[in-house]
């Protein structure tokens, strides 16, 4: 473990049951490449420029047998050791390109969930980053200590029964909150503006300056609901976001609204929807450098940042400060 590298992989949680961690890019099968140069050639052959995600793609491909993988869960994390085996499969959005991971489990087979409150503050903060594949090398001592603790106790220090109850309660909360938002059973302002204001507030909790745009802000078929900026001493980023309040599938209209903005100041374009998203749309969007956040991911974002939302917003969502449903 001394020579292991450490990675955060923001993988779809459902892949944990299969001892996998996954990343997106359904247009390209990473397992067909023998090295990073070959992987980049696969992108070039398909006419895809991965842009700012190039480094994340390389990180996932670089995960080797014995490396430590950390997967964020709701208010917890799972740890595992990579097998190094790459695979590809569709059916789980944002998880098509996969790496084998032997997750640490309790005797009953359930995954050891480490509460984020048990993590060092700096590591817990780093796990909030919105990138999908991140090096955690600077936290090696902390992570190795936690892994050794899990191996020594079989995860017993982290009460499996309590963790399971908390996980079940949180899953129920996620499901009910998403349904409430979809069917309008909240006190968010109607007409889409309430959801747009919520997205803007969530972005502010991430350090962005965010503003809901006027409907006349763009020309032609282009449309942006929320614009956000974040600058510090070393980096600068701009987001252009189309927000959709849907209860069913989100179609291509949102994509068409962002397509004309492909040369807009090197901005990152996103579709954020409360609905479901078909694989075809995800593939087309990613091929054009447009990110997609579906309803389940949006609710996860709300719950992750809930402690930073205003009391007024929590009330509109029907949430208490402890993130339990009031409705």
Percent of the chain with pLDDT over 70: 92
Average pLDDT over residues 101-112: 91
Question: How confident is the model at residue 316, as a pLDDT?
Answer: 93
pLDDT at residue 266 in the model:
75
Q: Please name the helix (run of DSSP H) or strand (run of DSSP E) that holds residue 128, with its range, or none.
A: none
pLDDT of residue 6: 97
pLDDT of residue 321: 62
- What's the whole-model pTM score? 0.68
SS3 content of the chain, % helix, strand, coil (to 5): 40, 25, 35
Q: Indicate if the pLDDT at residue 128 is higher than 70.
A: yes
pLDDT of residue 325: 59
The pLDDT of residue 23 is 92
Distances in Å between the Cα of 95 and the Cα atoms of 24, 58, 87, 107, 164 are 5, 16, 10, 27, 24
pLDDT of residue 44: 94
pLDDT, average across residues 70-95: 91
- The better pLDDT of the pair 107, 166 is held by 107
Mean pLDDT of all residues in 211-221: 80
For residues 265-283, give the mean pLDDT.
86
pLDDT at 158 over 60: no
pLDDT tens per residue across span 238-250:
999 999 999 888 9
Question: What is the share, in percent, of the chain residues with pLDDT greater than 90?
Answer: 54
- Predicted pLDDT of residue 37: 96
CA angle 114, 115, 116 (to 5 degrees): 110
Angle between helices 54-62 and 36-45 (to 10 degrees): 130
Specify the higher pLDDT residue, 202 or 126. 202
**How far is residue 271's CA from residue 37's CA, in Å, rounded to a whole number?**
30
Q: Give residue 161's pLDDT band: very low, low, confident or very high (50, 70, 90).
A: low
Rg of the Cα atoms in the chain: 20
Q: What's the confidence (pLDDT) of residue 220?
A: 72
pLDDT of 75? 76
pLDDT at 77: 92
Q: What is the pLDDT of residue 306?
A: 87
Q: Could you give all domains of the chain from N- to C-terminal order, each with its CATH number?
A: 6-160 (no CATH), 187-317 (3.40.1350.10)
Parallel, antiparallel or unpaired: strands 114-115 and 209-212: unpaired
Please check the confidence at residue 65 and state whether its pLDDT lies above 60. Answer: yes
pLDDT tens string 12-64: 889 999 999 999 898 999 999 999 999 999 999 998 888 778 999 999 999 99
């Amino acid at each position: 473990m001394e020579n292991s590298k450490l990675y955060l992989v923001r993988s779809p949680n459902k892949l944990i049951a299969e001892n996998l961690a996954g990343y997106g890019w359904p247009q390209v099968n990473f397992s067909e490449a023998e090295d990073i140069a070959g992987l980049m050639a696969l992108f070039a052959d398909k006419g895809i420029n991965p842009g700012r995600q190039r480094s994340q793609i390389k990180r996932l491909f670089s995960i080797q047998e014995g490396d430590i993988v950390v997967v964020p869960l709701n208010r917890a994390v799972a740890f595992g050791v990579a097998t190094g085996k790459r695979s590809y499969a569709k059916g789980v959005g944002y998880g098509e390109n996969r790496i084998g991971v032997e997750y640490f489990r309790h005797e009953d087979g359930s995954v050891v969930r480490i509460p984020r409150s048990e993590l060092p503050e700096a590591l817990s903060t780093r796990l909030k980053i919105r990138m999908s594949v991140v090096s955690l090398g600077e936290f090696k001592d902390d992570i190795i200590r936690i892994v050794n603790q899990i191996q020594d106790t079989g995860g017993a220090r982290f009460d499996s029964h309590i963790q399971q109850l908390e996980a079940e309660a949180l899953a129920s909360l996620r499901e009910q909150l998403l349904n409430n938002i979809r069917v309008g059973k909240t006190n968010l302002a109607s007409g889409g503006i309430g959801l747009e204001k919520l997205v803007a507030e969530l972005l502010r909790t991430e350090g962005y300056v965010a503003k809901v745009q006027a409907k006349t802000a763009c020309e032609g078929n282009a449309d942006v609901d929320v614009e956000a900026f974040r600058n510090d001493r070393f980096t600068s980023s701009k987001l252009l976001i189309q927000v959709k309040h849907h209860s069913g599938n989100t179609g291509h209209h949102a994509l068409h609204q962002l397509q004309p903005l492909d040369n807009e100041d090197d901005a990152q374009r996103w579709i954020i929807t409360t609905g479901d998203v078909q694989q075809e749309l995800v593939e087309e969007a990613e091929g054009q450098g447009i990110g997609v956040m579906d309803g389940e991911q949006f609710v996860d974002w709300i719950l992750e940042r809930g402690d930073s939302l205003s009391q007024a917003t929590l009330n509109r969502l029907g949430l208490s400060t402890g993130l339990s449903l009031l409705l």
